Structure 1
Amino acid sequence: MIYGTPELEPADKAVLVEIEDMRRDLRHRLAEPHRWDGQLRRQLQARAIQGSNSIEGYRASVEDIESIMLGEEPLETSAAVTREIAGYQQALTYIRGLAGARAFRFDAGLLHALNFMIIGHHHDKSPGIVRPGGIYVRNSATGEVVYEGPDAEEVPGLIAELVDWLNDGDLEHPAYVRAAMAHFNLVAIHPWRDGNGRMSRALQTLVLGRDGITTPEFCSIEEWLGLGENTVDYYRVLRTVQQGSWSPHGETLPWLRFCLRAHHLQAQLVRRRLAEAGQVWMLLEEQVDADGLHTRCVSALYQVFVSRRLRRATYQADEALSQGQAARDLRELAARGWLTPYGETKGRFYAPGPRMERVKADFAGRAEPLRDPYRELLTA
């Protein structure tokens, strides 16, 4: 028996309505193509990868993750962490394809394959194979056991039950609810020796993607879960609901509310970024035109606006340029004060120059704080 879907209360239904409203708004905005969509989508995927891996202690900058996604060598990230990032990116890339696949059903083989993609470089951890014995989750600071998974003999049956539910269970519930419960059940079963947390978050993204909720890059809450205190809250609610061991009769509403709140806040954040992207792009177009530069240079400037740095190969790929064209554009932008070059040869990158720093500072003060959807509903 796996954990059941809780009864929704009026506050939860109200939050779901607001999430759906934002979903429709995002879908409408994404229906019309914009020059900045590709870069924004790549950055959001990089932030999702960063969030999910940072929870497990594998830390890399968004800029290095973008480099890894593009097949480039990262500038700061270690080889060990690069392998973790690349494995998770591979799984998310596959999930993005599965989200739109016509012929699709969940099965145990898919879950094992995704786990193999994520941790396949850890040959000593039996990637993609059900753990042979018990498993314990410990507090990394104290060493205390905070959760004990079900016995290994139960795991194949529990995975089979979860797969059946993924295909046919609780279909009357919104995808946000089903995705949250898929996440919780998989992380509670803890079927593998490693990668269980990342797999559970990836499964949540896949369930949402299969329901056509924009695209996985825009519906994932992994970025939100990886932000500072949110990670602490994430582990706290897992411990509260799991109560130390596999006990599928427990109350799961606190977990569901945590996920719905995260979706609401992440959707607010993405909507803000979409609006800002259009404003920034148009401003940069005006500046590039005033400087007499080619309009393609806006792509390079936008990248350093949303990121700490730009590499020549990234700009070259984004604009389908030759190496010489890309290098000339970047030198010109540096000469005009938009970019500041650092490093040499393969390690060379461009950071915001003084003119870009002024643009970034101007936009930094415009963002309104995000609204907690449950605060008003549960205190009214």
Structure 2
Amino acid sequence: MLYATPSLDPADQAVLAEIEDMRRDLKYRLAETHRWDGQLRRQLQARAIQGSNSIEGYRASVEDIESIMSGEEPLETSGSVAREIAGYQQALTYIQLLSRAPAFRYDTGLLNALNFMMIGHHRDKTPGVVRPGGIYIRDSVSGAVVYEGPDADLVPKLLDELIEWLNDGDLGVPSYVRAAMAHLNLVKVHPWRDGNGRMSRALQTLVLGRDQITTPEFCSIEEWLGQQRTTIAYYDVLGEVGRRQWSPHGDTLAWVRFCLRAHHMQAQRVRQRLAEAGEIWMLLEKQVDSDGLNTRTVSALYEVFVTRRLRRSRYQADESLSQGQAARDLRDLAAKGWLSPYGETKGRFYAPGPRMVEIKAEFAGRATPLRDPYVQAR
């Protein structure tokens, strides 16, 4: 028996309708190709990876995560955390491919494979293999047990039930609700020795991707969940709904409502970023043109605007340049006051220069505050 999908209240239906409106608007905007699309998608994926891993205590900057995603050594992140990031990025990349695969069915082998991608570097934790014994989740401060997973001998049957439900259960339920219930059931079964939280959040993203809500990086709520206050609320609602032991009964509406709120808030944020990306790009394009610089350098300036720093290799890859071309462009941008170089050789990076700092300051605080949909709906 799994945790059952709840019926939605009118307030939830209203929030869901608003999420759908934002989704349709997003799909419409993404249908038209823009120069900044690739960088925006990469940054959203990096932020999703950052959010999901920070919940587990693995913290890295978006800039370092982007470096890891491209196969480079991060500048600040430790090797152990970088391996966690790389594993999760590998799993999310596969989820992106699975979301578009013409032939697809969920199965236990797929879930085990995703778990192995995430934590395969922890061979002592038998990655990709269902746990052989019990599992206990402890409070990181007090050490007290806050959740005990189902007995190990029940896990294979529960996974089979979850797989059957993923393929054929509640197909008439809104995708956001199905994805939330997939997340809840997997995290409560806790079938592996490690990576269960990340796997559950990734499964939620996969369900949405398969239902063609939009591409995974645009529909994931992992970034939103990784914020400190939201993370606390996330654990609180999991404890409220799931209780201290495997107990698949009772009302799960509080969990679904939490996820709907997260989707609404993250959708507002993504919509703002998409609108801001176009405005920033056009502004930078005008500045580059007036300085007599090559138009391609706008991608370097945009990267520095939305993150803290840029490495030459990133710009080189984005614009398909030779090492010499990329280095010359960045030197020109530094000479014009757009960038400030730091470090040497492999550790060299470019941060915002005086002119970029000025433009960033003009944009700071311009974003409209996000609206809690349930405050408005009730």
The reply to whether TM is greater than 0.5 is: yes
User: Aligned residues: percent identity?
Assistant: 77
1:206 and 2:206 aligned: yes
Task: Show structure 1 runs of 4+ deviating over 6 A.
Answer: none
TM-score, L = length of structure 1? 0.99
1:250 positional shift? 2.1
Instruction: Report the equivalent of 1:19.
Output: 19
Matches within 5 A, 1:2-81: 2-81=2-81
Instruction: Report the equivalent of 1:107.
Output: 107
SS at 2:295's partner residue? coil
Instruction: Report the equivalent of 2:320.
Output: 320
1:251 positional shift? 1.2
Instruction: Report the equivalent of 1:345.
Output: 345
TM-score, L = length of structure 2? 1.00
Letter in 2 for 1:18: E
SS at 2:77's partner residue? coil
Instruction: Report the equivalent of 2:235.
Output: 235
Structure 1 CA distance, aligned partners of 2:214 and 2:301?
Answer: 27
Matches within 5 A, 1:159-238: 159-238=159-238
Structure 2 CA distance, aligned partners of 1:377 and 1:75?
Answer: 45
1:375 and 2:365 aligned: no
1:376 positional shift? 2.1
1:216 positional shift? 0.3
Structure 1 CA distance, aligned partners of 2:243 and 2:224?
Answer: 24
1:214 positional shift? 1.3
Structure 2 CA distance, aligned partners of 1:73 and 1:101?
Answer: 31
Instruction: Report the equivalent of 1:268.
Output: 268
Instruction: Report the equivalent of 2:124.
Output: 124
CA offset digits 1:282-314 (Å, max 9, x no partner): 000000000000000000000000000000000
Structure 1 CA distance, aligned partners of 2:377 and 2:135?
Answer: 39
Q: How many residues align?
A: 378
How well do the aligned residues superpose, as a CA RMSD in angstroms?
0.5
Structure 1 CA distance, aligned partners of 2:361 and 2:232?
Answer: 30
SS at 1:296's partner residue? helix
CA offset digits 1:227-280 (Å, max 9, x no partner): 121110100100111111100012110000000000000000000000000000
Instruction: Report the equivalent of 2:298.
Output: 298
Structure 2 CA distance, aligned partners of 1:258 and 1:231?
Answer: 11
Structure 2 CA distance, aligned partners of 1:376 and 1:310?
Answer: 40
Unaligned runs of 5+ in 1: none
1:377 positional shift? 1.8
Structure 2 CA distance, aligned partners of 1:6 and 1:331?
Answer: 58
Instruction: Report the equivalent of 2:248.
Output: 248
Matches within 5 A, 1:149-164: 149-164=149-164
Structure 2 CA distance, aligned partners of 1:376 and 1:261?
Answer: 12
Structure 1 CA distance, aligned partners of 2:311 and 2:152?
Answer: 47
CA offset digits 1:298-342 (Å, max 9, x no partner): 000000000000000000000000000000000000010000000
1:213 positional shift? 1.2
1:147 and 2:133 aligned: no
Unaligned runs of 5+ in 2: none
Structure 1 CA distance, aligned partners of 2:47 and 2:377?
Answer: 30
SS at 2:368's partner residue? coil
Structure 1 CA distance, aligned partners of 2:83 and 2:165?
Answer: 32
Structure 2 CA distance, aligned partners of 1:168 and 1:33?
Answer: 35
Structure 2 CA distance, aligned partners of 1:107 and 1:160?
Answer: 8
Structure 1 CA distance, aligned partners of 2:130 and 2:46?
Answer: 29
Letter in 2 for 1:311: R
Q: Which piece of structure 1 moves more, 95-104 or 368-377?
A: 368-377
Structure 2 CA distance, aligned partners of 1:141 and 1:235?
Answer: 14
Letter in 2 for 1:136: Y
SS at 2:283's partner residue? helix
SS at 1:131's partner residue? coil
